[in-house]
Amino acid sequence: MTRSTRQRERASETRTQEDTEEGVRVCPECDSENLARSSDRGELICEDCGLVVDDENIDPGPEWRAFNHQERQEKSRVGAPTTKTMHDKGLTTTIDWKDKDAYGRSISSKKRSQMHRLRKWQERIRTKDAGERNLQFALSEIDRMASALGVPRSVREVASVIYRRALDDDLIRGRSIEGVATSALYAACRKEGIPRSLEEIGEVSRVERKEIGRTYRYISQELGLEMEPVDPKKYVPRFCSELDLSEEVQTKANEIIEETANQGLLSGKSPTGYAAAAIYAASLLCNEKKTQREVADVAQVTEVTIRNRYQEQIEAMGIPS
């Protein structure tokens, strides 16, 4: 019986070795291919029977352990990752503005004046020429507008990449830095599926809406940015939240948009106005009535636009007005 057990173990080891050479791993105990790698212990475990198939994997993680975010931050010995949102990609040195030493004690007045001079020169040498200073200004503008709009970090990164591409292709010559930066942010919002209307972008920008639209069209054409039409349904959650409407109204508005868009009503229409009309219609159908003025103020469209889109939508759905 011992001999047969050894033969079975030897056969399973041979089979495992053959499977490894072919690039397929199976469990030597239950012949299952459902294997999972444990990231914290560096082990290969069978999820069916629980056998540890391999425990000699190299662990790419740090040699220390941490049990929460604060401990991880304290024990980490690396800096922040590189980012396109800074002109030097975050690879610079920053001198702290606190006049304290490593132990938290206040430094002398002589040291304070010396640190003040070091900080001043540090800021000066961060940008070596006018091109870098302009890039620094443009990226700071993108960061300021993105913060005012409340868009996530990924949008800022994409906007910074688009601006850098425009700068490399010499598309900024003859145009304002603020206009190109605003257009890059508008394009990034559309690319990341977090649309903001030109009116909303224009409110936080220092350039006119007409210039933003003109510069955006030029940049998207020259850089070959493939922009899909904005889906009005992406505006619905934000508008409903600002109007304090229920989930029922939001669902109904999405249904109206989807059904009427399938009939071809969306073609050539503003997505914000279309979404606003659908929300207005849904609020009436769900007995949570909002006035056209309230909806228009949130969507930043006119009441006339909402009335026209509303009439088209209810007629397409066969709802009596």
Cβ–Cβ under 8 Å, residues 180 and 215: yes
- The pLDDT value recorded for residue 42 is 67
| Per-residue pLDDT tens over the stretch 167-211 | 999 999 889 999 999 999 999 999 988 888 888 899 999 999 899
Asked whether the predicted pLDDT for residue 320 surpasses 90, the reply is: no
Q: Of the given ranges (87-91, 117-121, 228-232, 300-304), which has the lowest mean pLDDT?
A: 87-91
Contact between residue 299 and residue 242 where contact means Cβ atoms under 8 Å apart:
no
Q: Cα separation of 242 and 126, whole Å?
A: 42
Give how far Cα 196 sits from Cα of 141, 156, 246, Å: 17, 14, 22
Find the range with the poorest average confidence among 17-21, 68-72, 167-171, 206-210: 17-21
Mean pLDDT of 247-273: 90
Distance (Å, whole) CA 126 – CA 132:
9
Confidence at residue 21, expressed as pLDDT on a 0 to 100 scale = 40
- CA–CA dist 50, 46 (Å, integer): 5
Domains along the chain? 30-56 (no CATH), 130-223 (1.10.472.10), 232-317 (1.10.472.10)
What average pLDDT does the structure give for the chain? 84
Residues 115-121: what's their mean pLDDT? 88
Q: Across the chain, where does the E strand assignment appear?
A: 35-38, 43-46, 52-54
27 is in an annotated binding site: yes
| Short-list 179, 183, 85, 59, CA closest to 140 | 85
Q: Tens digits of per-residue pLDDT, 22-61?
A: 445 788 888 888 888 776 666 788 888 888 887 766 666 6
Rounded average pLDDT over 104-131: 85
49 is in an annotated binding site: yes
**What local confidence, expressed as pLDDT, does residue 30 receive?**
85
pLDDT digits (tens, 9 = 90+) for 240-250: 999 999 999 99
Which among 141, 166, 182, 168 has a CA at the least distance from the CA of 219?
Answer: 166
**Pairing label, strands 52-54, 43-46:** antiparallel
Span 68-95, average pLDDT: 78
The larger pLDDT score, comparing residue 109 to residue 2, is at 109
pLDDT at 4 over 70: no
Of 53-67, 132-146, 243-257, which range is least confident? Answer: 53-67
46: annotated binding-site residue?
yes
pLDDT of residue 13: 46
Residue with tokens 């475990």: 45
142 phi, psi to nearest 5 deg: -60, -45
Position 12 pLDDT exceeds 50: no
Least confident of 93-102, 108-117, 300-309: 93-102
The partner residues of 280 in beta bridges, in order of sequence, read: none
Contact present, 178 and 215 (Cβ < 8 Å): no
| Angle ∠(271,274,279) on CA atoms, nearest 5 | 125
Cα–Cα distance between 239 and 274 in angstroms, integer?
12
Total-model pTM: 0.67
